[in-house]
Amino acid sequence: MVKDRECSFCNDSIPPGRGKMHIQNSGRVYYFCSSKCEKNMVKLGRKSKDTEWAAGD
């Protein structure tokens, strides 16, 4: 059984077959529910606690 993943940026639930997986050269794996979350974390280097719409800790 495939389990739901959690977005690495906004902590939303990602159902199976949805979202994106980003793997860094160091081997660290990130899961994203949308391209918005991916761009904010990977490309722009933002923290989820600094954005109002993300419920990150």
Residues annotated in a binding site: 7, 10, 33, 37
CB 47 within 8 A of CB 9: no
Terminal alpha carbon distance of the chain: 29
Residues tagged in the binding site annotation for Zn(2+): 7, 10, 33, 37
Q: What SS3 class is residue 17?
A: coil
**Tokens (6 digits) for 4:** 């739901």
